[in-house]
A and B are shown apart, each in its own frame.
Chain A
Amino acid sequence: MNPGLISECRRAGNGWSAVLMSTALILAGLCGLGAAAAEKVLTMAYNEEPQTSDMQMNTNDYMIPLNVYDRLIECVTTAPGKSALVPGLATKWEVSKDGKVYTFHLRKGVRFQNGEELTARDVVYTFDRMLDPATKALNTDILDFVAGAQERMAGKAPATSGLKELDKYTVQITLENAFVPFLAIMASPQASILNEKFTRPLGGKYGQTADSTCGTGPFMMKEWVLNDHHILVANPRYWRGRPQIDKFVLKVVTDPETMRMLFEAGEIDLFDCDFAVSQIPYFTASPKWGKQIVSGPRAGIYYYSINQKIKPFDDVRVRKAFQMAVDRRLILEKMFYNQGQLEQGILPVGVIGYNPAQPKIEYNPAKAKQLLAQAGYPKGVDMEIATIAGKGPQWQKMGEIVQAMVMKAGFRVKLTQMDEAAFFATRKEGKLPMYSNVWSADFNDPDNFFYTFFGPKGTVARSFNNLDPAVYAALDHGRSETNPAKRAKLYNGLEKKLIVDQAVWVPMFSMKHLYVVQPKVKKFVVPWNGWSDFPIYDARIQ
């Protein structure tokens, strides 16, 4: 209702007009309420404002890209913790024998939300835009192996030579070298496709508002109020069919306690237990909410890093001793309510190449103490574990538990809380002491774990400093090995080397991802990788 309009009528001295106007507006309001009641709305909460809906400029928040855009290939959840690559905007593709040239055939008749038809030009534009230095993109890693990408990023070429539009519906992408994970990467949210006609004129302003966001996906951005909420509405022309959910509301709620209360008051429809792990026993024991829990495995691994540049962890015996000094089973049971499984390697369950036969790390503080003594530390060692202040109480609590546990083996741990900016800046320099973290798959390929952590740059930037050229060579081999069996064998061998021989990190566990949903929400499935960001196209509202 518009009270200003009514008072305007009153001021004009026309009482009847005001009454009629009020009645009309009330009726209109009631009609609106009726429409709103019929509308199928799903409301969720984020814990952080996404910086932009431009997925090329955003390395963390993918809820909007996964629902507003499509990709050439999609990675769908086929069963809890299982995934498959299926055609998306490309109906089919071919790979050359040398594994360097990929040809994608686009789906015809797909429309962007501005009405434009998807063409090969849009795909070439999207990927070239990512590599164009003027874009200042943050996700160039997903394309920097395309032929000509380095020249383009350095500003030495006006376009990327490896991206070609063969005809209106055919795109050819040539890589510098064979790169097996490429198809899986094409299914990651960073590889979402933009419309050239819409995006180019906006330049750096693309993706900052609802009006400046446009994809081919099942939902369209309707409203974006910074630090408050985003509203996505169903795309009636979506090529897979209009979504059943009419409106998808994403609230920005930074405080986890407020988020939980919003859920209990029925103001949000899904509660992500990752934001408040301590609430899991409450929800599981609750007669009201216990049956409303939806869980799924997460293709993600909790780990403790080990920085080999910081003494005494330059000695492999000390690293092995630390691995043995942590009772991981106890932490999983007592702190995470047994909602997961112990992991022994680099890859968690659910990721291609996962090896269930990876040798188990035993919990043996006495043996750990012996190893420390052999390494020349019979009186034990001092060490540091860093955590991000405010990241979540579970991380600090886990640090305290580990601190108490490893003391038996002779590790005297100092827990340091760092502010997030200092944490990431120090880690980037390779100088961060041990820290705990979780890594969930961006795309389903072992490279996403191995190369990220133990590639020549990643191992420093993540403060592992496992500077082993033999490992780098094996990682490069893994990237180009096209035979799946040989590739699996290669990664299994590498995993053994890294964990058993080199003790590069302490694998902890992979956790289930738990959500509590309101009874009206149906067919909600936890995504295969266990992310908090997922496509909601298949979910239903009763």
Chain B
Amino acid sequence: MKSFILKRLLISIPILIGITIIIFFMLNVVPGDPVALMMKEHISVDVVARVRAQMHLDDPAIIRYFRFLGGALHGDLGESYKLNRPVTSLILNAFPNTLLLALWAALFAWAVGIPAGILSAVKKYSLPDNLFMGFSLLGVSMPIFWSALLFQWCFAVRLGWLPVAGFAGWKFVIMPAIVLGWSSAGIIARLTRSSLLEVMRNDYIRTARAKGLHELPVIFGHALKNALLPVVTVMAIQVAGLLAGAVVTESVFNIPGVGRIAVNAIQARDMPLLQGAVLFETVLVILGNLAADILYAFIDPRIKVS
């Protein structure tokens, strides 16, 4: 297992370097000047030229890239052009908010998705099945920004039950977690349903029923164990996805997380900050996938990591 993990981590190094190269050179190809952008309407060509030189923005791209890479190897992701603060601390300060949001969204997705999937499979083609599957389809297909606006209008503006936006306590997490987790809940519900239906057709389930077992022990004691294997893998990958993909939710609900930092960095052509944010989120996705693989090996004894 140790060598498996080590191997996977080593493979991720070229991936990370590749990501930094792509981001760095893409940002250099597209037109844009961070200093001109900082000054916007109050542009002064003399000031732009002076500050660009002071920020080493006129150095060749390759030198700037290796300067960044050298710093990153020492844990220093540089300084944000716009905010003039160390990128590492900006990301680490924002990450707990993203993590909290992603975990609550994942919990919502699991708490709703798994029971809904089971119920839909057990009562297939019934009204509850149609309702749950309709709900999950809505979650999967509705864009987050739209569901977010609907939730805000309904639960905050009309009913006044929850705050519209912000991140200052448990009440503020409810709506964004539901909005972000809804799509994942839909995927989990549909996967649980189809996986459970497939398992229920197996011979050992028929044998259990023939032995006179009641339906509930058959489902929870025999079928669910195997049916949840693919679901658990998806769940682990989803957490990484939620961590890296909360950009829209963070923007609409005004959550000061890593996703919002990345969006602001793109808009401000803040290369060090964007590189740092992308690198950080890439690491999260790689670790999430690795965790899913390891988890799978633990859950299913038939699978060996070797």
Contact = CB atoms under 8 A, between A and B. Distances in A.
Interface of A: 49, 51-52, 57, 59-60, 133, 136, 138-141, 144, 153, 204, 208, 225-229, 251-255, 257-258, 261-262, 264-265, 267, 390, 419-422, 424-428, 437, 439, 442, 457, 460-462
Interface in B33-82: 33-34, 36-48, 50-51, 54-55, 82
Contacts of B156: 261, 265
B37 A227 contact: no
B205 to A, nearest CB: 45
Contacts of B41: 59-60, 437, 439
17 contacts: A59-B40, A138-B47, A140-B44, A141-B44, A141-B47, A226-B256, A227-B256, A228-B256, A251-B166, A257-B252, A258-B253, A261-B152, A265-B163, A267-B164, A421-B37, A428-B33, A439-B41
Contact of B32 (A141, A422, A437): A422
A353 B44 CA distance: 24
Interface stretch (B9-17, B180-188, B259-267, B281-289): B259-267
B250 to A, nearest CB: 9
A267 B85 CA distance: 30
Contacts of B47: 138, 140-141
A400 B272 CA distance: 36
CB-CB nearest 9 A-B residue pairs = A421-B32, A227-B256, A59-B42, A425-B33, A421-B269, A228-B256, A424-B36, A422-B31, A261-B164
B150 to A, nearest CB: 11
Given A226-B256, A251-B166, A461-B43, A138 B85 contact: no
A30 to B, nearest CB: 17
B83 A51 contact: yes
A231 B54 CA distance: 32
B232 interface: no
Contact of B43 (A136, A419, A420, A424): A424
B39 A227 contact: no
B98 to A, nearest CB: 11
Nearest to B152: A261
B165 interface: yes
Given A140-B47, A258-B164, A424 B37 contact: yes
B289 to A, nearest CB: 28
Contacts of B33: 421, 424-425, 428
B207 to A, nearest CB: 49
Contact of A204 (B84, B166, B261): B84
A253 B31 contact: no
Nearest to B148: A258
A261 B158 CA distance: 10
B149 interface: yes
Nearest to B30: A422
Nearest to A150: B46
Given A251-B254, A261-B164, A262-B164, A457 B269 contact: no
Nearest to A49: B264
B260 to A, nearest CB: 5
B45 A428 contact: yes
Given A421-B269, A457-B44, A138 B38 contact: yes
B173 interface: no
Contacts of B82: 51
Interface of B: 30-34, 36-48, 50-51, 54-55, 82-85, 90, 93-94, 149, 152-153, 156-157, 160, 163-167, 251-254, 256, 260-261, 263-264, 267-269
Nearest to B49: A428
B97 to A, nearest CB: 9
A140 B164 CA distance: 40
B90 A253 contact: no
Contact of B251 (A139, A208, A255): A255
Contacts of A49: 83, 264
A463 to B, nearest CB: 10
B36 A428 contact: yes
B45 A461 contact: yes
Most B-side CB within 10 Å, residue of A204, A390, A420, A421: A421
Nearest to B250: A227
A275 B55 CA distance: 32
Contacts of B48: 428
Contacts of A257: 149, 252
B44 A461 contact: yes
B117 to A, nearest CB: 33
Given A52-B84, A261-B153, A421-B268, 17 more contacts: A59-B42, A136-B55, A226-B93, A227-B261, A228-B167, A228-B256, A254-B254, A258-B253, A261-B152, A265-B160, A421-B36, A421-B267, A424-B40, A425-B32, A428-B33, A457-B44, A460-B45
A424 B36 CA distance: 6
A153 B54 CA distance: 12
Contacts of A255: 251-252, 254
B261 to A, nearest CB: 7
A203 to B, nearest CB: 11
Nearest to A426: B31
B84 A226 contact: no
B239 to A, nearest CB: 23
Contacts of B45: 428, 457, 460-461
A52 B85 CA distance: 10
A307 to B, nearest CB: 15
B251 A254 contact: yes
Given A228-B256, A421-B33, A425-B33, A59 B165 contact: no
Contacts of A261: 152-153, 156-157, 164-165
B83 to A, nearest CB: 6
Nearest to A204: B84
A253 B160 CA distance: 19
Given A227-B264, A426-B31, A258 B36 contact: no
